[in-house]
A and B are shown apart, each in its own frame.
Chain A
């Protein structure tokens, strides 16, 4: 307990030589904070832990009465079932996996290019109309895809994109969040003096973008990568533009499996575990870059 409490002690204090004020916490305060955070973490983590544990339960334990939180005889049968069941679906499981990967990876790469290209002139170009574009970008941060789904459907339909990969990828390319974060990061990460020096050396805007801008915004690229990947990977909204089963993504397997009710509870949990792994792993590996980028996320 002492060691835990020590862990959450402030790592710096605000005492100064001439001041008697020392804003330290009382012991009760430390314990209170510890309990509050414990409660929050339990609330956040327990449902996910429950999903993971369910995924390893053999069928008798899922139906056992009384239900138990923990698993007694962990098994991989649910995971095997995922591939077996999905293999017996109209479309093989590997096809859903391919669709998810294809859409997420291509979409993410494309968005990284589009967003960083657009952010550079907005941050450093001082172009005409730049302020208007920035204003629109900030305003449209308000509108998530769920909110614009039906109006977007009319556009996607008139572009003849319904039931194609384009319908899953393109709407996500219009996201203003990535451009906004990238622009904010470029404002501080690329010194004007460096750009000026490059210009004197005769570098054009494209050279400046590729040689100076891109290498200095790696943390922001990592941040956009996780946000975009996460959005495309968990793509629920886009499924309404898709009717062909062989174009659908993994989340739709999850919904058709869990629609079968409690009988498939274990398999459903196994799919959700497989689904949550990629975004969580990417986040763990890029957390430092993400935090560095989010420092500049403020709206002024």
Chain B
């Protein structure tokens, strides 16, 4: 009885010693992960309460930055509205389209499935090729779409796709959807491929009436983990919208029509060097993303 604690301590020590190689393996990643992920996020929180221009030392200003964000910064309101609209529109559309395509091609032969996967994933792979949309939507009569519309007699004058405040928002939505077949899409395809097919046969025997029922009762419950992974990828993409807008509609865009939080942070961070204020903006964005994830995580877990 008396020896037990000492024995337990010895056991723990032995386990710790055995684990040393494991900790050494973890070390390099933990180091870069801390430096370039955790510390930036945490230091943004700390810096958000300061006034900091990268030259002088930061000075503590309390909640001033947050008060300025919510009470004075009208461009922030636009950026917030656009970010939420982009996320609410492009997030679900990209997510649902990704799943739909993955589901439809799931039972095709291997060859054609690989080809469609490559085609649909190509815009994500090709990275910078989205600049081609600026030629397609070019406002002069050489712009491909304008020319087509004029030829077909739908419009008589070229449309200012990229500089009209109302239209440019929807052009960007289109391009973001075009770019939204990413890792989540691959995860859906792979997950569907790996589903246990005996379930389908059993369910067919139990009297499923059609494929929609099969999708709802058999496929969704088994795809839970992949659906969650896809959701986290969708959120991370939908709230990071910004650089594409800049390439398409310029910076700042007409009437800030495609201005987002990512661009607003960049504006204050790398152009005006108001790091304290940029950090506070970043903290607001982090909070929104975490809240979105908490809600979606809960909804999807309930569903399963």
A residues in contact with B32, CB < 8 Å:
114, 170, 173-174
- Contact between chains at A155 and B39 (CB < 8 Å): yes
Q: Which single residue of chain B is at the shortest CB-CB distance from A45? A: B119
Those of A149-163 within 8 Å (CB) of chain B: 149-157, 159
- Contact between chains at A155 and B40 (CB < 8 Å): yes
- Contact between chains at B142 and A65 (CB < 8 Å): yes
- Contact between chains at A117 and B29 (CB < 8 Å): yes
- Contact between chains at A174 and B107 (CB < 8 Å): no
Within 8 Å by CB of A15, from B36, B39, B54, B204, lies B204
Known interface pairs A11-B107, A33-B104. Does A144 touch B240 (Cβ–Cβ under 8 Å)?
Answer: yes
User: Can you list, as one digit per residue, whether each of B221-264 has a CB less than 8 Å from chain A (1) or not (0)?
Assistant: 00111101100110111011011000100000000000000100
Known interface pairs A142-B232, A148-B40, A148-B282. Does A155 touch B269 (Cβ–Cβ under 8 Å)?
Answer: no
CA distance A82 to B40 in the complex (A): 38
- Contact between chains at B225 and A16 (CB < 8 Å): no
A236 in the interface, Cβ–Cβ < 8 Å? Answer: yes
Those of A8-23 within 8 Å (CB) of chain B: 8, 10-12, 14-16, 18-19, 21-23
B residues in contact with A200, CB < 8 Å:
none
Stretch at the interface among B73-81, B131-139, B163-171: B131-139
User: Can you list, as one digit per residue, whether each of A166-198 has a CB less than 8 Å from chain B (1) or not (0)?
Assistant: 000011011011010000000000000000000
Report A172 CB to chain B, min CB distance, Å.
Answer: 8
Report B82 CB to chain A, min CB distance, Å.
Answer: 15
A contact set with B: CB distance below 8 Å: 7-8, 10-12, 14-16, 18-19, 21-23, 25, 33, 36-37, 40-41, 43-45, 47-48, 50-51, 54, 63, 65-67, 69, 113-115, 117-118, 120-122, 125, 127-128, 133, 136-144, 146-157, 159, 170-171, 173-174, 176-177, 179, 204-206, 209, 227, 230, 233-234, 236-237, 240, 251, 254-255, 258, 262, 265, 268-269, 272, 275-276, 279-280, 283-284, 287, 290-295, 297-300
Report B204 CB to chain A, min CB distance, Å.
Answer: 4
A residues in contact with B117, CB < 8 Å:
287
CA distance A233 to B35 in the complex (A): 22
- Contact between chains at A114 and B28 (CB < 8 Å): yes
CA distance A113 to B143 in the complex (A): 47
Known interface pairs A16-B201, A209-B25. Does A11 touch B240 (Cβ–Cβ under 8 Å)?
Answer: no
Q: List 21 A-B contacts (CB under 8 A).
A: A7-B112, A8-B108, A12-B107, A37-B105, A44-B122, A47-B136, A51-B129, A65-B142, A118-B28, A128-B16, A141-B233, A150-B269, A155-B40, A174-B32, A234-B127, A240-B266, A275-B126, A279-B125, A297-B183, A297-B225, A298-B191
Beyond the given A7-B109, A12-B107, A262-B138, please list 14 additional residue pairs across the A-B interface where CB-CB is below 8 A.
A48-B126, A54-B135, A65-B141, A122-B26, A136-B33, A141-B232, A142-B232, A144-B240, A150-B270, A150-B278, A151-B40, A258-B134, A298-B191, A298-B223
The 6 closest A-B pairs by CB, nearest first: A298-B225, A234-B127, A150-B269, A118-B29, A294-B190, A151-B40
B residues in contact with A10, CB < 8 Å:
107-108
Known interface pairs A23-B214, A37-B104, A149-B266. Does A43 touch B178 (Cβ–Cβ under 8 Å)?
Answer: yes
Report B220 CB to chain A, min CB distance, Å.
Answer: 13
CA distance A219 to B105 in the complex (A): 22
User: Can you list, as one digit per residue, whether each of B140-175 has a CB less than 8 Å from chain A (1) or not (0)?
Assistant: 011110010001000000000000000000000000
B57 in the interface, Cβ–Cβ < 8 Å? Answer: no
Within 8 Å by CB of A283, from B19, B118, B229, B270, lies B118
Report A7 CB to chain B, min CB distance, Å.
Answer: 5
Within 8 Å by CB of A292, from B19, B190, B228, B286, lies B190
- Contact between chains at B142 and A298 (CB < 8 Å): no
- Contact between chains at B23 and A121 (CB < 8 Å): yes
Report A185 CB to chain B, min CB distance, Å.
Answer: 11
Report B239 CB to chain A, min CB distance, Å.
Answer: 7
- Contact between chains at A293 and B19 (CB < 8 Å): no
B47 in the interface, Cβ–Cβ < 8 Å? Answer: yes
Known interface pairs A50-B132, A276-B125. Does A143 touch B43 (Cβ–Cβ under 8 Å)?
Answer: no
- Contact between chains at B197 and A21 (CB < 8 Å): no
Within 8 Å by CB of A153, from B97, B131, B201, B269, lies B269
CA distance A146 to B201 in the complex (A): 45
CA distance A18 to B151 in the complex (A): 60
Report A258 CB to chain B, min CB distance, Å.
Answer: 6
- Contact between chains at A37 and B25 (CB < 8 Å): no
- Contact between chains at A151 and B19 (CB < 8 Å): no
B residues in contact with A290, CB < 8 Å:
186, 190
- Contact between chains at A275 and B129 (CB < 8 Å): yes
